[in-house]
Structure 1
């Protein structure tokens, strides 16, 4: 049985949680690589400011790299968001989104 590909617009409005069950935010938009036809980032709003307080600094939201996504279902799960937000794993931080 093959799985039908989902429309990328179905990601908009989904809630994002860490793999530990911590609410991260809600997908408002997507960052795309049009030439490569891939999603490269999730633009989140309605953020959990306990995670993002220092990073957003007055911005409307953040863009998480899509490679952080662990799974997509009724909600979107991302890996190790708490560690990434506090810079304990050496990975890049999310980008503040001011759009």
Structure 2
């Protein structure tokens, strides 16, 4: 996966099961390792997460499957509180 960091801002994030997670607000970079560490999410789907005392959501870069018109992440069973009956 190769893309400009600025192209990530505003992209919608979905799980590989089609669940909307939110939008890319920022990118966390590990300067020492010269790699992207995580994506910071805004406009978080409040049906997937309990948002009491919400401090922000970071998606670890290692669970990203693809980036193009959207960001596709691996669905992590148990990571989301709401959603559909298809969840494992």
TM-score after normalising by structure 1:
0.72
| Aligned twin of 1:42 | 39
Q: Does the C-alpha gap of structure 1 residues 47 and 59 become closer, same or farther in structure 2, counting only changes over 3 Å?
A: same
- 1:30 matched residue in structure 2: 27
Asked whether 1:64 is paired with 2:72, we answer no
**Partners of 2:80 and 2:67 in 1: CA distance:** 24
Secondary structure at 2:48's aligned position in 1?
helix
Superposed CA RMSD:
2.0
Distance 1:80 1:70 in 2: 10
Structure 1 segments (4+ residues) deviating >4 Å: none
How far off its partner does 1:37 sit?
1.3
- Quick check: which one's helix share is greater? 1
Alignment of 1:1-99 (within 5 A): 5-53=2-50, 56-81=51-76, 83-86=77-80
Partners of 1:65 and 1:52 lie apart in 2 by: 16
Deviation at 1:60, TM superposition (A): 4.9
Give the superposition deviation at 1:57. 2.1
Partner of 1:96: none
Q: Which runs of 5+ in 2 are unaligned?
A: 82-88
Q: Is the 8 A contact 1:19 1:79 kept in 2?
A: yes
